[in-house]
Amino acid sequence: MAEVIIVRDPTEAGSVASSIFAQQITTNPATVLGLATGSTPLTTYAALAAAVTEGTIDVSGVRGFALDEYLGVPPEHPESYRSVITREVVEPLGLNPDQVWTPRGTGPDITQAGAEYEALIAEAGGIDLQILGIGSNGHVGFNEPGSSLTSTTRIKALAEQTRKDNARFFSSPEEVPTHCITQGLGTILRARQLLLLAFGANKAQAVAAALEGPVSSAVPGSVIQQHPRATVIIDEAAAAGLAHAEYYRHAWRSAQGLHEVDF
């Protein structure tokens, strides 16, 4: 069962999440991070950047792998995930850009890009801590409903709802790509630790289905239930559909108390 932490707002979530990242990086300076994009992880990245600036953590040895990339969008395009990761993560944190990878969305033999990315992750020793968001239809990464629970990095068609959700990043809805290359659900589950973030009432239904519904390809985010070390950080609005929210609050308070007890 995932550890569920319900917080006031995205800023508090970023503080809690960054402390988890900081602990991982302090324990292993050569940590391999799995990096998500979009608005959800921004407060986490901002809090991490502040910790780097203050000298609390050293990220010089940290490596990273993005979850996904648009198909047919060149890396230099401002809305490619290579560009987004550079703007939102690499530059603010001061990561070595040569040690941060995104799936290849262009070039020859594009059908081989998934296998290439899987090999890169394996060569790096696997992902230590993967940050995730969840879409309003329950997708994680770009694993849309119906994705195999054991899938690996591959090309996927984007659902129309996902394209609508991402249209705000483009000049017009028609410019939103129709396909992507994404880490699979099986790839995500191989990460040693998962950290899923969700904010806002529009995510409440997806969060409830992912955490308290059956594990199903209809709700790709539900695979988080199968991971032995998963943490979910959500605000009150995203927690609105949870049947066991009070228990999660109690469990989190109890966990904080344990840190103060000398057994």
Angle at 178 between CA 132 and CA 120, to 5 degrees: 50
CB 184 within 8 A of CB 151: yes
Q: Dmax over Cα atoms in the chain, in whole Å?
A: 60
What count of other Cβ atoms lies within 10 Å of the Cβ of residue 22? 17
Give the residue numbers annotated as catalytic, written as ranges: 68, 137, 139, 144
What count of other Cβ atoms lies within 10 Å of the Cβ of residue 218? 14
Burial label, 126 (beta-carbon count in 10 A; 0-12, 13-18, 19+): middle
- Which residues lie closer than 8 Å to 122 by C-beta, 6 or more apart? none
* Cα separation of the two ends of the chain: 24
Tell me the two tokens of residue 32: 């391999």
The whole-angstrom separation of Cα 37 and Cα 198 is: 13
What count of other Cβ atoms lies within 10 Å of the Cβ of residue 191? 24
Nearest to 200 by CA among 13, 50, 60: 13
